[in-house]
Structure 1
Amino acid sequence: MPQPLISSRARPLTGTLRIPGDKSISHRSLILGGLSVGETRIEGLLEGEDVLATAAAMRAFGATVEHLGPGSWRVVGRGVGGLDEPADVIDCGNAGTGMRLLMGTAAGQPITTFFTGDGSLRRRPMGRVGAPLAQMGVRIVAREGGRPPLAVTGPEILTPITYTLPVASAQVKSAILLAGLAAPGETTVIEPKWTRDHTETMLRHFGAEVRVEDTAEGRRITVVGEPELTGRPVVVPADPSSAAFPAVAALLVEGSELLLPGVGTNPLRFGLFETLLEMGADIELTNKRIEAGEPVADLVVRHSRLKGIEVPAERAPSMIDEYPILAVAAAHAEGTTIMRGLDELRVKESDRLAATANGMAACGARVEVDGDDLTVHGADNGVAGGTTIPVDLDHRIAMAFLVLGMVSADAVAIDDEAAIATSFPGFRELMNGAGAAIGTGA
């Protein structure tokens, strides 16, 4: 049965909160560990349902994947082109990232792999991955609109391609590059708009030859096929997309100060924090460092008076998962915040643009959707709250409205807690330990 949660006004949020590992990097570390020769030790892996589904998938492909302790994992890979044909259907749960990356992984093997997912994932389009893979000689059979369940059959010899992304998508780019590992020659992806570059960074970390150059067409990423990847240690940084929720909560709840250690600060993922700083947020980055090729810092976040701004469309790829929580911040800022170019929000776990706008309006905020733009008008007294938000299996919608309840006049409820475990297991307990008041109401 669904487990509703109620979020009431919070006390000042204080203390040190250890955010779960980065979901994007966790998926990639398991997959590349499975495609490598030798042992990969991973520390800080996100142990949410999405990533655990990818761990199970790599076991189904024949890799050894062992849980050693909290966040600590060991993977012994099969090498590029050495995966087994899974004996059963691979269930990716709610993980769109996992399914798209695993489709690229499976495409590089002369095997047939069947994929499915939960009700939300089965509504999400996979054709944007299927189209370039088909150009490489992969056969994909899917439901109408390229939706799962689907089957991927790799050819005996994969054809390397040069492919220009029609939309900014790190998942599509990554699927092509992962498939390209098994293709003779060079596989190239051209992205007119830059997207997060975790795959390129991790491919290099495991020993692949990857070239990146800026051209008149856009950013050109080339992987040289048929490498021998070698198992390497990976330290997964705290996920900036997950850190966004306690960070915004601390900015909005008067008297708050939180320390969020070890958060990934990759500039292609850090758009929300860049935006919050422009809005006047008191966020201090300390102890900056590089771990497994990724920039990391400790964040100190203090209560702040925010002001509305216009967020340009070109920033969207670096913060596409964070617009729901930005809308919560914007409703408590002075003036108006306009967020442009949010078309990709419509094909997330839910239609996140509609879910954000409808939920904010139900809580008493003044919001407008014009095409792919979202406008939120700040209110001097915040928002009323006092309603229940349907989350439709979307973890980020769920957490965003729980944060809204921390500063609303009346409590805000969500109709189902379960989705939160896909990316942020223990969210309720962690926030309550810092001063939030999130409970079942029983």
Structure 2
Amino acid sequence: MSHPDPRPLRASAPSAPLAGRLGVPGDKSISHRALMFGAVAVGTTEITGLLEGEDVLRTAAAMRALGATVDNTGPGAWRVSGRGVGGLVEPADVLDMGNSGTAARLLLGLISGHPLFAVMTGDASLRRRPMKRVTDPLSATGAQFWTREGGRLPLAVRGAADPLPIDYVLPVASAQVKSACLLAGLCAPGTTRVVEKEPTRDHTENMLRHFGATVSVEDTAEGRVIRLEGQPELVAAPVLVPGDPSSAAFPVVAALLVPGSRVVVENVGLNPLRTGLFTTLREMGAALRIENERIAGGEPVGDIVAEYTELSGVTVPPHRAPSMIDEYPVLAVAAAAARGVTRMKGLAELRVKESDRLAATAALLAVNGIKAEIEGDDLIVHGTGGAIPGGGTVETHMDHRIAMSALVMGLAARSPVTADDAAFIDTSFPGFATLMNGLTAGAPLAAP
């Protein structure tokens, strides 16, 4: 399935090493949440560094449709005047969440606790993604859902007039499902309790506290138990959105693979539940270090310095998957250039991302001359210990991360690599090609 107007993009080995300092777009996870929490807080929330990609702009439009005042006041600067917990109003039209699973799932949680009716849809990719994983637990609030076969969008929701708190044990490690349950719990009296067997990104918990909610986290024999005290008075609070570590992954890996390169990515979010890729790259021998560490808006932030390194294959344990679930395609590119075999274990969750990201990653490698196989939920990559052959055209399947991974591969390959459609990169990393081209001579990323 391709975009109505595919925009292929080709990457070739640059004529000079990558060098320079750059910032990456704001963290997508935090940007979605800043808009949503601002909309249900009392007062005006000032957001700086918001990711202005298509996914987040869909969330901004949805919050407007639900009654919040959302204004763009400058590049990355936004102002949200909220309606307070329980104050959202019924939207007059369908909520179109575009390509964003995060926006769709979190918003279903928020709507579930409000006595309103809404219809939600998305693009062709989002309409294939499973929503049952959130509608099942959210039904316990008293909300009702009508979906297509398999629990897919478009769907209709009638939120609960008197929402009940949820007590839910997550069957899969998913920050989106956890967050949907917590957001539904905002409008419910009493305590909402969510248990996760594997810790997942905790931006929702951090930001709820930042806005004044009472959230406790306890590690128990059952797993990590998160409790939210319902019906808090959320009060507007400024949010500084750090650079997205999932976006920083692409220039970082490119610098590690292109000989002679040294790149500094500034102001990157370093939440320990998001930095599995950087841990893994260090295990592979990468010259990566963090400078200027600090806390901003409740989140750890720093600058990542990456220098060209000859990498070695490793085994990535399955418990690390939630902290790097979006980074496996670009890790596979690093593994392709490494010495020896890299085995990434426990990647079942990749099958239900924007594409079947596991199959798409294996295909990306194969079409560029890298031996790779999928065994169960594991991806095994046989590295070349040097240059990647390249020369392939990668099917991106409307998946921005597959497209960017293919282009990073092209920078480190003997023959150029083409992404069949780079249009979707704008959902998470507007200006990606311009920024990467700015790190070196010529324009290694260009239309074929």
TM band (smaller chain): over 0.9
Alignment partner of 1:13 is 2:4: no
* SS class of match (1:156): coil
* Superposed displacement of residue 151, structure 1: 1.0
Among residues 172, 189, 194, which one is paired with 1:189 in the alignment?
194
1:360-379 → structure 2 map (5 Å cutoff): 360-379=365-384
After superposition, residues 362-401 of structure 1 pair within 5 angstroms as 362-401=367-406
Matched-pair contact (CA < 8 Å) for 2:113–2:141: no
Distance in 1 (CA, whole Å) between partners of 2:68 and 2:419 is: 38
Which amino acid is 1:440 matched to?
A
* Partner Cα distance (2:272, 2:122) in 1: 31
2:300 counterpart residue number: 295
Question: What one-letter code is carried by the residue in structure 1 that aligns with 2:59?
Answer: T
Partner residue in 2 for 1:96: 101
Q: Which residue of 1 aligns with 2:354?
A: 349
Q: Following TM superposition, by how much is the alpha carbon of 1:100 offset from its aligned partner in structure 2, in angstroms?
A: 0.3
Deviation at 1:380, TM superposition (A): 3.0
For the pair 1:419 / 2:415, whether they are aligned, the reply is no
Q: CA deviation at 1:201?
A: 0.2
Q: 1:5 Cα shift?
A: 0.5
Offset at residue 387 of structure 1 (A): 1.6
* Counterpart for residue 328 of structure 2: 323
The equivalent residue for 2:170 is: 165
Query: What one-letter code is carried by the residue in structure 1 that aligns with 2:183?
Result: L
Q: Which string of whole-angstrom CA distances, capped at 9 and with x for unpartnered residues, describes residues 221-270 of structure 1? A: 01111111000000000000000000000000001111111101111000
Secondary structure at the aligned position of 2:84 is classed as coil
Q: Is the 8 A contact 2:214 2:229 kept in 1?
A: yes
Q: Alignment partner for residue 129 of structure 1, among 109, 131, 134?
A: 134
Matches within 5 A, 1:99-248: 99-248=104-253
Tell whether 2:92 aligns with 1:53: no
Partners of 2:6 and 2:314 in 1: how far apart? 37
Q: Percent identity?
A: 61
Say which is worse superposed, 349-358 or 409-418, in terms of deviation: 409-418
Amino acid aligned to 1:439: A
Corresponding residue to 1:42 among 38, 47, 65: 47
Shift of 1:113: 1.1
Q: Distance in 1 between matches of 2:114 and 2:326?
A: 31
- 2:107 is aligned with what amino acid? L
Q: Could you list the per-position Cα deviations for residues 133-169 of structure 1 after superposition, in whole angstroms to 9, with x for gaps in the alignment?
A: 0111110111011110001111110011210000000
Q: Is the 8 A contact 2:338 2:386 kept in 1?
A: no
- What is residue 64 of structure 1 aligned with on the other side? 69
Q: Distance in 1 between matches of 2:160 and 2:245?
A: 37
**Structure 2 residue 272 is the aligned partner of structure 1 residue 267:** yes
For 1:141 and 1:430, the matched residues in 2 are separated by 43
What do you get for the CA RMSD once the two structures are aligned? 0.7
Rounded Cα–Cα distance in structure 2 between residues aligned with 1:162 and 1:380 = 49
Q: Over residues 5-59 of structure 1, what are the superposed CA-to-partner deviations in whole Å (9 max), with x where a residue is unaligned? A: 1111123111111100000000000000001000100000000000000000000
Q: Distance in 1 between matches of 2:160 and 2:291?
A: 49
Partner of 2:444: 437
| Partner residue of 1:26 out of 11, 27, 31 | 31
Find the aligned partners of 1:265 and 1:65 in 2 and give their Cα distance: 28
Unaligned runs of 5+ in 1: none
Shift of 1:392: 1.1
